[in-house]
Structure 1
């Protein structure tokens, strides 16, 4: 709403910051940060699939380590923080099946602290515990509570103190984790706001020489949000919010997969207040020198599955987009048609009227040309079973009405967007009043009868209530068995082999937004950004509440006004959450995100930071 004005202020500070970064009067601390790597240990294409000779290759932990080591030499006062979701997404995770290669990589890179994402729970508590035992740095989650024996012994901490820098780092995990991943019933997640308040009190009680908390940075993950100076960015880096005391809170994140490394340098004055800042997301391109030792390890780890991953299983006539966050997409169309074809293919499966699939389960795009087995496995890494569920017509109507409104029939926020098979014809108006956005719903060319029961193909995650498309309740789900039973990635591979070359149907015929304002498809965030310029200022599941869905930054029609940023709800709160002491934190993004909160510590008897 004040974008142009804010950009001007940021630009003015950028011009003078290099002249004011002086250690004799001020102290600067650099935060390096990553999030949502999703097992991209090796370099990859911008769409997230494995590299080939025809496309640009970016990222990879060997290059990240090379850049991190360079920045640590340049900024000796620095911390490297990881906002979670290291697990799930490539064969480096699924082939080794226990995260041990990820742990070895993170130890080599030298992470200083990390929080847990929802995907760290995809294999259950015990697998996570074994992974955590291999890590050589603090793992933080203040709102995680567990009685699982192995996970309890894994020493997950609510916070870490870095007394050298007079900082506390508190980790928080999305409370929706039980509905979007697979923690045991013995592991629960409390309100992030309450957990943060409790931990501040705990730190005060344990360290009475700390007078108050003042400096503050939020390092977020989970939303796969691109911020910075790129033309397709969703906001500035850092995004600035005000706490109740009117102080700036710096909010940063670094997109996804390790395509970017975040670098935020914060300047503190003699009273410990944030004075200025400078930073940018650094794109990890092919010209960055990799760490040779780590590159060699990763190459060795790839060998056991390389031949399997390189098998060509089909050809795509055009690029298949996974930009499914708020709209129909070609990858979503593919997987939904695959489900229906599978369920209607033989006597061992109950036939279905149509199918839908959550967009969070579509992880990467497919490029035009040869499609390899590894590409499909990376696009659909969760190994979900395809099931049939029975829904009355009224329930179907409520599912889509709720999706377009952003809340289900129980008024719980919906965390994703449905892709549908060719059997569906859905018309909606995203600008209509809440509760009346769905205009028409057809199956097989016929309007849905609200009293009739329909059998719908979907994945077992959605059938169990994942992503909150419908209120949780016992629901019969027919699970096929026999020789044709397979996880979704294998079914897509079989389909592509039979439909080779694959010519995707036109996008826009299944989910039709009749609103003129919002009908145009949003740009593809997986395309290569045109710059990374800095901005500164004065069973395994496949749902992600914010994995590319209507985001904390207010992008899209659900969850915020287009183009807005987080803001203080009213005096004494940030984002609707209470703020203690009026100066220590901002909570506007905590309800849905995986977050690290950086709190400055003012010690009794010290006036200067050092």
Structure 2
């Protein structure tokens, strides 16, 4: 009898181990692999761009790389873009997104987020782009009036099926679009955190347990999103042009691993800018939809990649009308005119000085004494040599006109305080100036950084800015209407939109001078520490 008891005991224990092994095998069989290829902040960069001694990007090389990676496992791969397809080159100035959309259609993007620059030419231009697209454009935090041209065109979220698994994708757009672009009436930008929580609840209610947030918020806001919202597994972001991992200049890994309020891992990725790299993240979910594995790194879209010949042929059709415009020489410079993003948003540069000098000279007959432009509106550098009209238009792509107004000295100080308040974040409000010299302390508290301001007379003499004296200021229409957070411009007197196109004024200024070599270093001075 004892041998029977022992036998039953052995069989029972064995059954337990077999059951455990079977359960583990079942769970493993339910693991789900997903590969994300992603881009952001394309900014109409259909051609390759020079980065140091290298050429990076270009839509034809991107196509080749995407096709190569898709061939490895197309059925479990999603291609996403985190917004700002619009704005930045002659292609956008000429075609308003219609040169970009056929390429995006043919690359089979699964979804594209709405970026702030998608509103730069108003709602109808964006609506026409969406109507031409074969992919959904998404944002969960937009409230769109039924009378808007965008009504019913932008989705809050989508569900895609990958190997019979449901993947929820929600979009988010920076609320700063109201000051960074020109969305117009009929659109409200809601709190992204609240919108994300609401949308996650909807997707969970539909049985989705794997959720991607496709965002145009910036890396710092993406991290907050990961830390404050449960239910999001992956955040694919844009807006801040942040390099991660192996991308040049990166200081953070790819992916960033954050923790949600309930303790789950959340992966955050972004892909720098302009299609220079292609993000590539591979993840595995368990049967309950929890992340259990991840790996990946961005791929350089460099000269080792053979451009897709069909895309090259299509691009040539769009290039042809631009060549005459692009190549018209309007002047010369013997030095690089610095519009580098990091510099133009943190220090005085010779290109910032050139632009400010040009609009001040244009408006001096009207009594203008001071010019202030936002560094964020200056979008490229100009190399030494011939200066073409096309280069000027790429530096100043937004189609702004010149505006003038009257400010007291005290208001100008407040305006400049705002301008230097976001330098740590690389915000576009950093001022480039003419007609004044300012000294500031970047270590001082925000709101107390401006130490002194002097007005520079046409003869080069200087005197302190006086609080109660009225000064005529020239700027662009974007700032005049409160863009980049410059709400104080709305308080100015005698506001006039001159109708002079900013890029035309700068081009004329260059054309009128035999050599462009603006001095630099004596207008925006950091206080010695």
Structure 1 length-normalised TM:
0.73
What does residue 218 of structure 2 align with?
none
CA positional deviation for 1:57:
3.1
Aligned to 2:513: 499
**1:277 alignment counterpart:** 294
- Which 5+ residue runs of structure 1 have no aligned equivalent? 1-22, 48-54, 408-412, 517-610
- TM superposition shift of 1:210: 6.0
1:414–1:262 distance in 2 versus 1, CA, 3 Å: closer
CA RMSD of aligned residues (A): 2.4
Provide the secondary structure at the position in 2 that maps to 1:166.
strand
Which stretch has the larger CA shift, 231-240 or 258-267?
Answer: 231-240
Say yes or no: does 1:364 pair with 2:377: no
Q: 2:334 aligns with which of 317, 339, 347?
A: 317
Query: How far apart in 1 are the matches of 2:490 and 2:509?
Result: 33
Q: 1:389 to 1:174 in 2, by over 3 A?
A: same
User: Hey, what does 1:171 align to over in structure 2?
Assistant: 171
The equivalent of 1:509 in structure 2 is: 522
User: What is the DSSP-based 3-state SS (H/G/I as helix, E as strand, rest coil) of the residue aligned with 1:229?
Assistant: coil
Partner of 1:86: 85
| Residues 562-573 of structure 1: pairs in structure 2 closer than 5 A | none
Q: Which has the higher strand share?
A: 2
What is the correspondence of 1:247-258 to structure 2 with a 5 Å cutoff?
Answer: 247-258=264-275
1:87-113 Cα deviation digits (max 9, x unpaired): 11112111123x222211110111110
Paired position in structure 2 for 1:431: 443
Residue in structure 2 matching 1:440, options 452, 455, 459: 452
Cα distance in 2 between the residues matched to 1:195 and 1:363: 31
Deviations 1:510-540 (A, max 9, x none): 1111254xxxxxxxxxxxxxxxxxxxxxxxx
Residues 26, 515 of structure 1: alpha-carbon distance in 2 compared, 3 angstrom cutoff: farther
- Conserved in 2, the CA contact under 8 Å of 1:72 and 1:78? yes
**What corresponds to 2:12 in structure 1?**
none
Mapping of residues 228-267 of structure 1, within 5 Å: 228-230=245-247, 232-267=249-284
Partners of 1:211 and 1:401 lie apart in 2 by 44
Structure number with higher relative contact order (C-alpha < 8 Å, ≥ 6 residues apart): 1
Equivalent of residue 355 in structure 1, options 337, 347, 371: 371
Question: Does the residue aligned with 2:298 lie in a helix, a strand or coil?
Answer: strand
- Please say which structure displays the higher CA radius of gyration: 2
Q: Structure 1 residues 489, 233: closer, same or farther in 2, change over 3 A?
A: same
Question: 1:389 and 2:405 equivalent?
Answer: yes
Could you tell me which of 132, 135, 160 is aligned with 1:134?
132
Output aligned runs, 1:344-493, within 5 Å: 344=364, 346=365, 350-406=366-422, 415-444=427-456, 445-471=462-488, 473=490, 475-479=492-496, 486-493=500-507
**3-state DSSP of counterpart to 2:500:** coil
Q: 1:335 to 1:244 in 2, by over 3 A?
A: same
Q: Alignment partner for residue 325 of structure 2, among 308, 326, 348?
A: 308
Q: CA deviation at 1:265?
A: 1.1
Do the aligned partners of 1:141 and 1:159 also contact (CA within 8 Å) in 2?
yes
Could you list the per-position Cα deviations for residues 538-580 of structure 1 after superposition, in whole angstroms to 9, with x for gaps in the alignment?
xxxxxxxxxxxxxxxxxxxxxxxxxxxxxxxxxxxxxxxxxxx
Moved more, 154-163 or 292-301: 154-163
1:36 CA displacement: 0.8
Comparing 461-470 with 159-168, greater Cα deviation is found at 159-168
SS in 2 for 1:101: coil
CA contact (8 A) 1:387 1:477 kept: no
Following the alignment from structure 1 to structure 2, what is the Cα–Cα distance between the partners of residues 313 and 56?
27
What is the CA–CA distance in structure 1 between the aligned matches of 2:181 and 2:445, rounded to whole Å?
33
Distance 1:75 1:326, change over 3 A: farther
2:359 is matched with 339
Task: Give yes or no for contact 1:336–1:355 (8 Å, CA) kept in 2.
Answer: yes
Q: Is the 8 A contact 1:326 1:417 kept in 2?
A: no
Equivalent residues of 1:84, 1:114 under 8 A apart: yes
Residue 294, structure 1, aligned to residue 311, structure 2: yes
| TM-score, length basis structure 2 | 0.84
Q: Indicate the SS of the match to 1:45.
A: strand
Alpha-carbon distance in structure 2 between the residues aligned to 1:424 and 1:37: 35
Aligned residues: 472
- Pairing 1:42–2:47 present: yes
Structure with the bigger percentage of helix? 2
Residue 479 to residue 202, structure 1, CA distance change in 2 (3 Å)? same
